Structure 1
C-alpha cells in the first residue's frame, strides 16, 4: 500500500511538471489592431491565425488544440504591458507574442518575464530588444537594426560610396538605433557632412515631414535616408514625391513591407532601396518551396499576398509548437533551453535562435522596388520587390563582443 501511494505521488508530481496536459494550449497575441501600425498588425494576425488553423488541422501540439487569444496594443507600450498581464493572469496563456513597435515589445516582454512566460517579439527592430534591454524570456524573430543596417551598408558602400547623406529619423528607440547603425555601416558618422532631422513619435504631422524634407532638399544630399516606419513612412514618401525629391536623390529606407509599399503605391515606390527578411516574391526568386506553399495558402485564404510581418508571426507560432514538442512541456525554463541554439528552415533558408542573446539569425535581403508596370502585372498588383543583395545572418549580426559592449554601455551584465 505504501509503495502504491509513493508511486501515485510520483505520478502526480510528474504530471504537474507538464502543464500542456490541458484541453488546449493558449497563445496570447499582443498586436496593434489600431494606431499607426494597424496595417502591419492585420498581417501579423492573418499569419498567426493561418498557422494556428494548420496546426490544429494536423492534430494540435502534442494532441492539444491551440487557441489564439488576442489583445489590441494600439501601439501603446502601456497597453502592451496591461494586455500581457491580463493575458497571463486572467487568460492563463502559455506564451505571448507580438509588437509592431519596439517600445511595445520591450515593455511587454519585461511584463511577461515577471510572470514567467516567454515573449516572442514580432516586428521589432530596435537593437535594444535583444541587446541592452534583452532578457532570457525574450526571443526576437525579426532582424534587428544592426543586421538590416549591415546588409544595407554592404550594398550602399558598393553603389553609393562617398556620396552625401541626409537622415530623416523618427525620434524614438528604433529610429535612433537604426540611424546609428546605418551611419556606422555606411561611413556617414560625421553629422556635419551627413546631417539629420528628427520627427516626433508617435504624434508626427504632415508639417513635420514637410519641414524635415525641405531641410533634406536644401542640403543637396545625394541619398535621402528615411528612418521611418508604418504610417510615418507612408506620409513621408508621399511628401517627398510631391516635392519631386525622387528626381534629385536616391531614397533609401531601412525596412520595407509589402503593406507599406501597397499603401504608398507603385509609382512612388519605384526605385526605392530597402531591406526585408522576407516578402512573398522572394521564395519564387530564390526557390524556397515551403515559402511558396505558404504564399499560396495565405493568398487562397485571404485574397491578398502575405507580407514579412505575416511570415514572422506565422513562423513564431510554428517555432513555439516545435519547441514544445522537443521539450515535451510548456514549462518556460524547458522551452528556453529547447530554443537556444536551435536551427531550422521554414519559409526561407537557414535560421537560428542564437543562444547568447535570443536574436534570430537569418538572411537579410536588400531589395529595390520594381517599375510600376512590373508591379501591376501581378494579378494582385503586388509584385513590388527585386532582390539586389543579401547578407547571411551570422555575418549581419553583432558578435558576442559587440553585443556585450552594448550591454556594458547600458550598465547591464554581459549575459541575459
Structure 2
C-alpha cells in the first residue's frame, strides 16, 4: 500500500538564460560559483555536497517550443517537490527505492535555464548548470537536435542526460550515447502504432500524400510512415517538404489535393503542425488527416480543425491507470488553480515526461547507492518500470525506452474543454524493434562508462 513520507522542503533556484554562458574550463568542475553544491573530482560535480544535490533542467521557456518548455518546467518542479517531501509516484510501490526525503539523504535542489528553443543556447545553458551551478544530471530539451548537442556536452563530463522531448531517431540511433536515456518513443514506433488503426479504417489498400518539415523529426517521421505504408501495400503518391516556421502551406496542399489521396500525412510539430492542420481542413472537403505526433499545443492551436485527426501522444490525462491517475491528481493539486492556466491543470505529455525522467534518475541513484555515473547508468540499462501507460524497458543496447504508444483522434470543437482536445483510440503495446534493426543498428557504440575528459 502507498504511504505518506515526511521530508525536507524542496528548494527552487532559477538560472536566467541571459547569464547562462561560461568559459570552457568553468564547465568542467563544480567549484565555479558559490551556488554550486559540488566539488571537482573524477566526474563533474562528484562527490555531491553533504546536505544537498543539484539537478539541472535546460528548458525552452520562449521561442517556438516555449509552451512545451513551460509544461516541462512544471513537471520537473513537481518531481523535485515529491523527491524532497513525498507524494505522487514517490509514495508508490513502483518507485519503492525513493524515500521522499531527498536522494541518498540529500535535499534535491533544482536549477533551470531558458534554452530559447535553440540547440546552441541549450548547450550554453547546460554548460552553466553543470559548471557554475553544480548539477549532477540534466534533463529537458525540446528537439532531437538539442538532445544530440547536449549528449556531446554531457558524456565527456560524466553527467547523465535524461533526454526530454526529442522525437527523432538519431538520439538512440547514429548519435546514441552511454550518458543519454530516451523515454520518448521515436518515429518508427509512432508509425507502428498508427498503421493498425489506418488499416482498420481503410483496409489493405489506400493512397497517401505527405507533407513534412525539413527537420530531423520531419524527415525521419515521414520516412518511417512511408516505409510502414509501403510495407502494407499502400500507394504512397509522394511528399513535399517545407521549411520549419512556414506559415502558408497553400501551394503544397494544392499539390497534394491534385493527387486525390485517401489520407494526408502531416509530419510537423507545435505551431507548424497546427497551421498545417488548419489549412488542410480548408483545402480538403473530406480527407483523413494523420499527424503522427500530436501534442496539447498543436491541438489547442488547431482548434476545431483537430476534429478527426489521428496521431500519437506520449501521455494524456484521460489514461486510466493508477500511476496515471496519481500523476494527474498530484499535478492538479499543485497547479490546479482555475485562474492559473485552467487548461493546463490536469498535466500534459510534456509535464509527465519531465516528471518521470527525473524520478527514474533519482531511483537509479538510490538503487546504485551512489551518484557516480557509471553505477547509475548500469542501474538504468535494461531496467523495467512503469509510468502509467503500461510496462516499459529502458533498453541497454541503445538506451531507448521500449514502451506502449497511445493513439488518439481529435475531438469536435463542442467536446473540447480543459486539456481535452482528443480522445483515446487505443494504446498500442506491440511496438518496438530489435537491437539489430534500424535505427538501433546505427547505434554501434554507446561509448565508455567513464567520462572521456578528465575533470580539471
| Contact 1:96-1:120 within 8 A present in 2 as well | yes
The alignment status of 1:352 with 2:393, answered yes or no, reads yes
Among 221, 228, 238, the residue aligned to 2:278: 238
The alignment status of 1:399 with 2:430, answered yes or no, reads no
| Contact 1:139-1:359 within 8 A present in 2 as well | yes
CA positional deviation for 1:338: 0.8
| Contact 1:154-1:185 within 8 A present in 2 as well | no
Among 32, 55, 60, the residue aligned to 2:83: 55
Tell me the secondary structure at the aligned position of residue 51 of structure 1: helix
The alignment status of 1:145 with 2:183, answered yes or no, reads no
Q: How does 1:310-325 map to 2 (within 5 A)?
A: 310-325=351-366
Q: What is the rounded CA distance, in whole Å, between the counterparts of 1:17 and 1:48 in structure 2?
A: 20
Among 184, 191, 195, the residue aligned to 2:238: 195
CA positional deviation for 1:334: 0.8
Aligned to 2:71: 43
Instruction: Flag structure 2 segments of 5+ consecutive residues without an equivalent.
Output: 1-40, 86-99, 337-344, 448-456
Cα distance change, pair 188–222 in 1 and its aligned pair in 2 (3 A)? farther
Aligned to 2:57: 29
CA positional deviation for 1:274: 0.5
Q: What is the rounded CA distance, in whole Å, between the counterparts of 1:390 and 1:185 in structure 2?
A: 18
Q: What is the rounded CA distance, in whole Å, between the counterparts of 1:147 and 1:321 in structure 2?
A: 27
Q: What is the rounded CA distance, in whole Å, between the counterparts of 2:77 and 2:106 in structure 1?
A: 16
Q: How does 1:98-117 map to 2 (within 5 A)?
A: 98-117=140-159
The superposition leaves residues 137-169 of structure 1 with CA deviations (integer Å, 9 ceiling, x where unpaired) of 110011011111111122223323421111110
Aligned to 1:307: 348
Aligned to 1:290: 323
Q: What is the rounded CA distance, in whole Å, between the counterparts of 1:173 and 1:193 in structure 2?
A: 21
Q: What is the rounded CA distance, in whole Å, between the counterparts of 2:308 and 2:439 in structure 1?
A: 37
Aligned to 2:17: none
The alignment status of 1:271 with 2:308, answered yes or no, reads yes
Q: What is the rounded CA distance, in whole Å, between the counterparts of 2:240 and 2:222 in structure 1?
A: 11
Q: What is the rounded CA distance, in whole Å, between the counterparts of 1:351 and 1:206 in structure 2?
A: 38
Q: CA RMSD in A?
A: 2.3
Number of residue pairs the alignment of both structures matches: 382
Cα distance change, pair 320–383 in 1 and its aligned pair in 2 (3 A)? same
| Contact 1:156-1:186 within 8 A present in 2 as well | no
| Contact 1:277-1:308 within 8 A present in 2 as well | yes
CA positional deviation for 1:260: 2.3
CA positional deviation for 1:415: 5.3
- Larger helix share, 1 or 2: 1
Instruction: Flag structure 1 segments of 5+ consecutive residues without an equivalent.
Output: 1-12
The alignment status of 1:77 with 2:115, answered yes or no, reads no
Cα distance change, pair 87–18 in 1 and its aligned pair in 2 (3 A)? closer
Q: TM-score, normalised by structure 1?
A: 0.86
Q: What is the rounded CA distance, in whole Å, between the counterparts of 1:302 and 1:415 in structure 2?
A: 39
The superposition leaves residues 225-281 of structure 1 with CA deviations (integer Å, 9 ceiling, x where unpaired) of 1100011111112222333x2x3211111111223212222x211111001231111
Tell me the secondary structure at the aligned position of residue 351 of structure 1: strand
| Contact 1:226-1:254 within 8 A present in 2 as well | yes
